[in-house]
Amino acid sequence: MSFIGKSVFHVWNIRDIHFGKVVDEKIENDWKYLQIEWVDNEEYEKAEKEVTNPKEKSNYPNWHRIDSVRVFKPEEMISSLRNLQ
């Protein structure tokens, strides 16, 4: 199944949620990796460049392993968030 064009989010640093669209995908070492075009994401990109722990760095810096992001339907999430009011 292709994920290209799907909306995804990634929770980073426990408190930050980043949203984007999948623009490409590939398989490496039996794992699917996604290339994501993030929206409003300058702070995350800056922090990601500063990571010094090798365990936190990806072998594919512009690619995200499929298990690190979640696919979602924006209209369903917006509807749920509106119910919080």
Give the model confidence (pLDDT) of 7-18 as tens digits.
999 988 788 899
Q: What is the pLDDT of residues 16-74, one digit of tens each?
A: 899 999 999 999 999 999 999 999 876 656 666 555 555 445 555 679 999 999 999 99
CA distances 35 to 30, 80, 81, 85, Å, are 16, 27, 27, 34
pLDDT at 2 over 60: yes
Q: Which two tokens stand for residue 5?
A: 């064009």
| CA 52, chain centre distance (Å) | 20
